[in-house]
């Protein structure tokens, strides 16, 4: 199975900060990567699909980049509602695999 290594596992940031989260795949997954965030007690929400495509309705401060094995999620200016846990997911082949998550805290 493809392993997804996400870093950091947690980070502390302030409103207005630029935040970057990375995911590394154990093999080439082309651009078959999505980013999600999840708030406590809620279902995950899709932010980015196909590595760099912003999901409809998601604010433009979120962006994704990368292909092959290295991927990045960037939040250009952190807002209070962005404090959550972020996950990457490879959907290149079965079994799909999530990164272990990055908790973004104040």
Partner 1 sequence: EVQMVESGGGLVQPGRSLRLSCAASGFTFDDYAMHWVRQAPGKGLEWVSGISWNSGSTGYADSVKGRFTISRDNARNSLYLQMNSLTTEDTALYYCTKAPNLANWGQGTLVTVSS
Among 10-18, 19-27, 45-53, 68-76, the segment contacting partner 1 (CB under 8 A) = 45-53
* Sign of the CA dihedral with 27 first, then 86, 34, and 54 last: negative
Among 17-25, 40-48, 60-68, 74-82, the segment contacting partner 1 (CB under 8 A) = 40-48
Nearest-approach distance from CB 67 to partner 1, in angstroms: 16
- Tell the burial category of 82 from Cβ atoms under 10 Å away from its Cβ (0-12, 13-18, 19+): buried
- Residues forming the site for partner 1 (CB under 8 A): 1, 34, 36, 38, 43-46, 49-50, 55, 85, 87, 89, 91, 94-101
């Amino acid at each position: 199975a493809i392993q997804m290594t996400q870093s950091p596992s947690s980070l502390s940031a302030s409103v207005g900060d630029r935040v970057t989260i990375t995911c590394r795949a154990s093999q080439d997954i082309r651009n078959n990567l999505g980013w999600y965030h999840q708030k406590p007690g809620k279902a995950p929400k899709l932010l980015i699909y196909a590595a760099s495509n912003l999901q409809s309705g998601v604010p433009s401060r979120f962006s994704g980049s990368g292909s092959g094995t290295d991927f990045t999620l960037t939040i250009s200016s952190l807002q209070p509602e962005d404090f959550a846990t972020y996950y990457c997911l490879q959907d290149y082949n079965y079994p799909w695999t999530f990164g272990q998550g990055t908790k973004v805290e104040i």
